[in-house]
């Protein structure tokens, strides 16, 4: 089944909206209601979900619990994901201390830095380790995701090292667009790029 | 001219890649080379740029300086953009101290919090102000962008307040999908959503 990436990118937003609806006590939601939450058309929502089977009955809406279970399963959110973080400067420390990851099943289990200034210090529950420990830690601690919070100039080489050590998923906070080989999934968190795509719409406001 | 949003979202990536090429001393770039940097096809790049006119000569590639100037102009990056930040917890402080905004023309000129614990403290060069000052500060300091770094439960009401006070651009770090009226541009920075759209591809790896 070949699902367009834009659809995959939207699925987590469905999960979040459905979770919120469930918290509010709802059991069933129509594509209209869900579309209202997500600023999408009902047709778009029905089309996205149709890639994965039939979830709703015509005129009766979606069973929220069932749809949530299915989407979590499709996205692989029913298991724990273990990540390592590279770079414990101000940004890296904010990431380690971010409380939003754990409730969603993502745990940062190891932190690394190349600077003697940081190695051996404690950030959150983690002791910062030297880059030489990376390879061992990835296999030993069953790490599958690498979070990159190093300066721009170091990002490509850090990402190369992660990929060489078997990491398939990269969450990159460095303000560059690194190259990754086929089969490696990378997401960039980049507030400047986000701002620059807003100003297009603001410049004549 | 009606440019698809996906194209607008890519333009900042072009700006970054072209800036990098310029730094490396290049003066001309082909759509092939640019595509290689951005992991896009040359055809996609030519199509994206065609929305804005003719930038390249067949077989001669793009003049980097000219294309950069044009793209910066199209995106509104030739002026300074003034932002205010709401919420000076750990995340908000990391945002204020982030050194990536200023070189790109984005300055955070005011910081706000609702907690007495934070009001009056100094973060970076800014003194944290109470929410009651927001309205005045936005007009007085010509703020056009609001950066939201408050907890999830407060995000919608903070964003409503920003919009009521004339803000048209919102950079939202709170892990929710707030509603904004038509004509308001919002970008969400959400690492959990990014991770959740990666695991789809990682779960069978």
> Using CA atoms, how far apart are residues B144 and B126, in angstroms rounded to an integer?
18
Q: What is the pLDDT of residues A55-104, one digit of tens each?
A: 766 678 899 999 999 999 999 999 999 999 999 998 899 899 988 899 99
Contact between residue A177 and residue B59 where contact means Cβ atoms under 8 Å apart = no
pLDDT for A77: 96
pLDDT for A134: 97
Residue B163's SS3 state is helix
Residue A18 has pLDDT above 80, yes or no: yes
ipTM comes to: 0.92
pLDDT for B161: 97
> Using CA atoms, how far apart are residues B202 and B205, in angstroms rounded to an integer?
5
Q: What is the pLDDT of residues A111-152, one digit of tens each?
A: 999 999 999 999 999 999 999 999 999 999 999 999 999 998
Query: Could you tell me what percentage of chain A is helix, strand and coil, using 3-state DSSP and rounding each to the nearest 5?
Result: 45, 20, 35
Q: Which CATH architecture has domain A81-193?
A: 3-Layer(aba) Sandwich (3.40)
Residue A166 has pLDDT above 80, yes or no: yes
Contact between residue B115 and residue B127 where contact means Cβ atoms under 8 Å apart = no
Whats the size of chain A, residue-wise?
205
Which residues of chain A neighbour B13 with C-beta distances below 8 Å?
177, 193
| CATH 1.10.10.10, applies to A5-74 | yes
> Using CA atoms, how far apart are residues B109 and B6, in angstroms rounded to an integer?
30
pLDDT for B140: 96
Q: Which two tokens stand for residue A6?
A: 């834009």
CA-only gyration radius of chain A, Å: 20
Residue A7 has pLDDT above 80, yes or no: yes
Residues sharing a CB contact under 8 Å with residue A185, sequence separation 6 or more, in sequence order: A168, A169, A170, B198, B201, B202
Domain ranges of chain B: 5-75, 81-193
Ramachandran angles phi, psi of A20, nearest 5°: -65, -45
Contact between residue B162 and residue B174 where contact means Cβ atoms under 8 Å apart = no
Mean pLDDT by 10 residues, chain B (205 residues): 85 92 94 87 92 77 94 95 96 90 95 98 97 96 97 94 97 89 93 94 84
Instruction: Please give, rounded to a whole number of angstroms, the shortest distance from the CA of B187 to a CA of chain A.
Output: 6
133-192 of A, contacting B, C-beta below 8 A? 144-145, 168-169, 171, 175-177, 179, 183, 185, 187, 189, 191-192
Residue A156's SS3 state is helix
A25: left (phi over 0), alpha (psi -120 to 50) or beta: left
Determine the average pLDDT of the residues in A10-21.
92
Task: Decide if A16 and B179 are in contact by the 8 Å CB cutoff.
Answer: no
Instruction: Please give, rounded to a whole number of angstroms, the shortest distance from the CA of B44 to a CA of chain A.
Output: 16
> Using CA atoms, how far apart are residues B145 and B111, in angstroms rounded to an integer?
12
Instruction: Please give, rounded to a whole number of angstroms, the shortest distance from the CA of B60 to a CA of chain A.
Output: 25
Which residues of chain B neighbour A199 with C-beta distances below 8 Å?
75-77, 81, 169
Nearest to A195 by CA among B145, B10, B143, B190: B145
Which residues of chain A neighbour B145 with C-beta distances below 8 Å?
195, 198, 202
Which residue is closest to A38 within chain B, CA to CA? B177
pLDDT for B58: 67
Report chain A's mean pLDDT, rounded to a whole number. Answer: 92
pLDDT for B1: 60
pLDDT for A102: 92
In this complex, which of A90, A185, A200 lies closest to B8 when CB atoms are compared?
A200
> Using CA atoms, how far apart are residues B190 and A10, in angstroms rounded to an integer?
13
45-74 of A, contacting B, C-beta below 8 A? 74
95-114 of A, contacting B, C-beta below 8 A? 95, 97-98, 100-101, 104, 106
pLDDT for A37: 84
Nearest to A83 by CA among A130, A142, A129, A165: A142
Write the CATH number of the domain with boundaries B5-75. 1.10.10.10
pLDDT for B189: 94
User: Which residue matches tokens 């010509």?
Assistant: B142
Contact between residue B185 and residue A93 where contact means Cβ atoms under 8 Å apart = no
Nearest to B175 by CA among A87, A100, A89: A100
Nearest to B138 by CA among B170, B98, B115: B170
B143: left (phi over 0), alpha (psi -120 to 50) or beta: beta
């Amino acid at each position: 089944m070949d699902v367009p990436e834009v659809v995959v990118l939207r699925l987590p937003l469905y999960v979040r909206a459905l979770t919120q609806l469930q918290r509010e006590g709802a059991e069933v939601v129509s594509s209209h209601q869900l579309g209202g939450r997500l600023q999408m058309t009902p047709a778009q929502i029905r089309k996205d979900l149709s890639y994965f089977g039939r979830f709703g009955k015509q005129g009766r809406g979606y069973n929220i619990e069932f749809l949530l279970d299915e989407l979590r399963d499709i996205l692989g959110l029913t298991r724990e994901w273990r990540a390592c973080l590279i770079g414990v400067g101000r940004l890296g420390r904010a990431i380690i201390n971010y409380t939003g990851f754990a409730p969603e099943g993502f745990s940062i289990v190891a932190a690394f830095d190349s600077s003697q200034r940081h190695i051996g210090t404690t950030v959150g529950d983690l002791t910062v380790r030297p880059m030489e420990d990376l390879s061992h830690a990835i296999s030993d601690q069953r790490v599958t995701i690498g979070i990159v919070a190093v300066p721009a100039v170091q990002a490509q080489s850090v990402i190369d090292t992660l990929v060489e050590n078997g990491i398939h998923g990269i969450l990159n906070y460095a303000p560059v667009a690194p190259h990754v080989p086929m089969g490696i999934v990378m997401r960039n968190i980049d507030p400047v790029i986000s701002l620059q795509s807003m100003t297009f719409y603001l410049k004549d406001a």
